[in-house]
A and B are shown apart, each in its own frame.
Chain A
Amino acid sequence: MRAFNAELSKLFSLPGIWLAFLIGAFAPAVIAALDSTAQKEKIIAGVSTRLSEVGYIGLGLGVQGVIILGVLAVSSEYLTESSESGGGNQITTSLTVVSSRFHFLLAKASAVTVISILLSIVAILTTVSATNLILGEYAPAFEASRLIGAVCYWIFTALLAFGITVLTKNGIIPLAVLMINSSVVTVSYLLAKVTKLAFYLPDKAGVDMFMFTSDSFHTPFTGGLIMFAWVAVLFIVAAIVFHRRDVTS
């Protein structure tokens, strides 16, 4: 528990974390507001084909906040300080204090999970109010089950970012890969055109938890299960690698 508190305090004192909070809390609302404005006429006329996506599209594209959170949580530990201030590595200090590597990883992952839950709740609040503000009485009802799916999607995405960064030790690669892959036309979407296997990629499966579009492949529950399986496998691999690896290498 003390390790968990320490991880929370470390996370909150990172300078980059405020960028993550800002993006996580407001980007979904802005995207949803823009989309609602563009769709407003069609929705009022009752001809919109994308009524089921309104609002949720913001939550789907706005996961950047938690991606940054997951990546920063790990990459900040491995950042080497400048030689003028000793050239220290935070990870050596952290592992001296919490000597069980497994506990350290668990505490850090729990801290990331808790913050992503809070962040996703804030994001849902801002997104729902932005959509309601713009569409007024035409705004679709937001069902609790789909919102829970969105929260799960955010948590799993944050943990994926976290797990990949444990393996790479460097923030650039996971950040680039995940941000591009959560963009408007994703690589997974592209691959899905080539092979059906791409529907089992974590982001493609995870989106099915709350986006019900014509090209949904899984039910929300199996989608969530597939994404969870990815997270679980990645975590086992990350835990083993982290357990065996020399931290200073």
Chain B
Amino acid sequence: MSVSSSRKITLILGAELEKLVTLPLVWLTLMGTFILNIVLAAAFISAGLQGAAGTQSILKIGLASMGYLQAGFIILGILATCSEYTGGQIRTTLTTIPWRGFQLSTKHLALAIVTIPMAFIIAASGVLYAFIMMRDTALVIEIDAIIKILVGATGYLTLTTLLSAAIGVLLRRTTPALVVLLGHYFIVSPLLRDFLPGIKNYFPDTAGYYMYMPPSSDDINVLTPMQGTGVLMLWTLIFITVAIVSYRKRDA
């Protein structure tokens, strides 16, 4: 049966989306991340309220939990790709969709479609919570600055998810992928930030940090949000390309 190529894309995208939204762990992870974010935001806000009142920016406090929040999205990315390899699902997938590069790109696209609204909701909830709690004490900020920063945060979380998904394809097992990514984001990178300040701006997480952090004047050698996006985008594209190339070559 011959199917036109645009129809093919819609079919594959539909299938990938269907697989993603029917994974129970995806929803558990997203819900857990949401709750964790609210709890952490509450902790940061109460710490901020105890500190010097009035000098704290709502955005900075609302997004302070981002560092932990990204763990949920890393898990999401890994789950999306590694779930194919538990059991023989990958063989069924490739039997029905025998174009490997195509299939994997569509999977990333489907993942992005699911992640973007979720990332926006979760990032916005932290900021909104901070706004409600600190309305009286903190400085007033304009609405377009908030939107700009929230778009940056959403982009950061989405790119991180895609990067994790690509690493998940490369490693094919949940535990090693999780260890490698969490180890990098939470242990190696914070340490290297202190010991190698020269190249720290070019790691995916520190470059992405500038996408959502409001610029502060006391920091030297910072990247602009656009440069940060560029560096992180480059990392993500490199990993997705490597993942696709090895996915095409490898025995499933």
- Provide the bound-state CA to CA distance between A205 and B87, in Å: 41
A-B contact count (CB 8 A): 84
Q: Which residue of B lies closest to A68 (CB)?
A: B179
Q: Which of A19, A180, A191 contacts B176 (CB 8 A)?
A: A19
Q: Which residue of A lies closest to B187 (CB)?
A: A183
Across-interface contacts of B79 in A (CB, < 8 A)? 172
Taking the closest CB of chain A, its distance from the CB of B37, in whole angstroms, is 12
- Provide the bound-state CA to CA distance between A208 and B68, in Å: 24
- Provide the bound-state CA to CA distance between A75 and B178, in Å: 14
Q: Which residue of A lies closest to B45 (CB)?
A: A194
Interface size class of B (residues with CB under 8 A): 20 to 34
Across-interface contacts of B186 in A (CB, < 8 A)? 179-180, 183-184
Known: A175-B182, A176-B75, A184-B186. A34 touches B195 (CB 8 A): yes
Residue B141 lies at the interface, judged by CB distance under 8 Å to chain A: no
- Provide the bound-state CA to CA distance between A72 and B91, in Å: 26
Interface size class of A (residues with CB under 8 A): 35 or more
Across-interface contacts of B68 in A (CB, < 8 A)? 180, 187
A82 touching B88, Cβ below 8 Å: yes
- Provide the bound-state CA to CA distance between A182 and B182, in Å: 11
Residue A47 lies at the interface, judged by CB distance under 8 Å to chain B: no
A64 touching B187, Cβ below 8 Å: yes
B195 touching A38, Cβ below 8 Å: yes
A175 touching B43, Cβ below 8 Å: no
Residue A137 lies at the interface, judged by CB distance under 8 Å to chain B: no
Q: Which residue of B lies closest to A186 (CB)?
A: B186
A68 touching B87, Cβ below 8 Å: no
Taking the closest CB of chain B, its distance from the CB of A9, in whole angstroms, is 20
Max chain A Cβ within 10 angstroms of own Cβ: one of B25, B46, B86, B182: B182
A190 touching B187, Cβ below 8 Å: no
Across-interface contacts of A23 in B (CB, < 8 A)? 179, 183
**CB contact list, B174-208 vs A, under 8 A:** 174-176, 178-179, 182-183, 186-187, 190-191, 194-195
Residue A61 lies at the interface, judged by CB distance under 8 Å to chain B: yes
Q: Which of B47, B173, B191 contacts A193 (CB 8 A)?
A: B47
Residues of chain A whose beta carbon lies under 8 Å from any beta carbon of chain B: 16, 19, 23, 27, 31, 34-35, 37-38, 61, 64, 68, 71-72, 75, 79-80, 82-84, 87, 171-173, 175-176, 179-180, 182-185, 187, 190-191, 193-194
A/B interface sample: 25 pairs, CB < 8 A: A16-B173, A19-B176, A34-B191, A61-B191, A72-B175, A75-B175, A80-B86, A83-B87, A84-B87, A84-B88, A171-B175, A172-B174, A172-B178, A173-B32, A175-B178, A176-B71, A176-B75, A179-B183, A182-B187, A183-B186, A184-B186, A184-B190, A187-B40, A194-B47, A194-B50
Other A-B contacts than A27-B187, A61-B191, A190-B40, 16 sampled, CB-CB below 8 A, are A19-B176, A19-B179, A23-B183, A31-B191, A61-B187, A68-B175, A68-B179, A80-B86, A171-B174, A171-B175, A179-B182, A180-B68, A180-B182, A183-B190, A185-B67, A187-B68
